[in-house]
Structure 1
Amino acid sequence: MKHIFQKGKNQNKPTLLLLHGTGGTEEDLLPLAKEIDPEANVLSVRGNISENGMPRFFKRLAEGVFDEEDLIYRTKELFEFLDEAAEKYDFDRENIIAVGYSNGANIAASLLFHHQDALSGAILHHPMVPRRGINLPDLTGKNIFIAAGINDPICPSQESEELKSLLENAGADVQLHWENRGHQLTMGEVAAAKKWYQTIKK
Structure 2
Amino acid sequence: MSTNEPVTSRSLTQFVHRFIPAEAQEGSQKQAPTLLLLHGTGGNEDDLLSLGGMLFPGAALLSPRGNVSENGMPRFFRRLAEGVFDVADLHKRTQELADFVSAAAETYHFDASNVVAVGYSNGANIAASLLLSKPGILRGAILLRPMVPFIPDQLADLSAASVFVSAGRMDPIVPTAQTEQLIQLLKQSGASVATHWINGGHGISHEDVREARLWLNTIYS
Give the TM-score taking structure 1 as reference length: 0.97
Equivalent in 129, 145, 149 of residue 110 of structure 1: 129
* Worse-matched range after superposition: 166-175 or 152-161: 152-161
Which position in structure 2 is the counterpart of 1:50? 69
Q: How many residues align?
A: 202
* Worse-matched range after superposition: 6-15 or 162-171: 6-15
Instruction: Return the letter of the residue paired with 1:22.
Output: T
Cα distance between partner residues in 1 of 2:210 and 2:64:
23
SS in 2 for 1:158: helix
Alignment of 1:19-58 (within 5 A): 19-58=38-77
Instruction: Report deviation, 1:133.
Output: 4.6
SS in 2 for 1:13: coil
Instruction: Tell me if 1:7 matches 2:26.
Output: no
Instruction: Tell me if 1:156 matches 2:175.
Output: yes
SS in 2 for 1:23: coil
Cα distance between partner residues in 2 of 1:129 and 1:83:
24
Question: Percent of counterpart pairs with the same letter?
Answer: 53
SS in 2 for 1:43: strand
Which position in structure 2 is the counterpart of 1:64? 83
Do the aligned partners of residues 179 and 146 (structure 1) sit closer, same or farther apart at CA in structure 2, a change above 3 Å counting?
same
Instruction: Tell me if 1:17 matches 2:36.
Output: yes
Which position in structure 1 is the counterpart of 2:142? 123
Cα distance between partner residues in 1 of 2:43 and 2:33:
23
The C-alpha deviation readout for 1:74-114, integer Å capped at 9, x for no partner, is 00000001111000000000110000000000000000010
The answer to whether the 8 A contact 2:130-2:138 is kept is: yes
Alignment of 1:163-178 (within 5 A): 163-178=182-197
The answer to whether the 8 A contact 2:172-2:202 is kept is: yes
Cα distance between partner residues in 1 of 2:92 and 2:115:
21
Instruction: Return the letter of the residue paired with 1:8.
Output: A
Which position in structure 2 is the counterpart of 1:141? 160
Cα distance between partner residues in 1 of 2:148 and 2:24:
33
Instruction: Return the letter of the residue paired with 2:114.
Output: N
**RMSD between aligned residues:** 1.1
Gap regions ≥5 residues in structure 1 = none
Instruction: Return the letter of the residue paired with 2:41.
Output: T
Which position in structure 1 is the counterpart of 2:209? 190
Instruction: Report deviation, 1:183.
Output: 0.7
Gap regions ≥5 residues in structure 2 = 1-14, 26-30
Which position in structure 1 is the counterpart of 2:3? none
**Structure 1 residue runs of 4+, over 2 Å off?**
none
Cα distance between partner residues in 1 of 2:81 and 2:130:
21
Cα distance between partner residues in 2 of 1:107 and 1:170:
17
Instruction: Report deviation, 1:141.
Output: 2.1
Cα distance between partner residues in 2 of 1:128 and 1:172:
17
Cα distance between partner residues in 2 of 1:44 and 1:10:
20
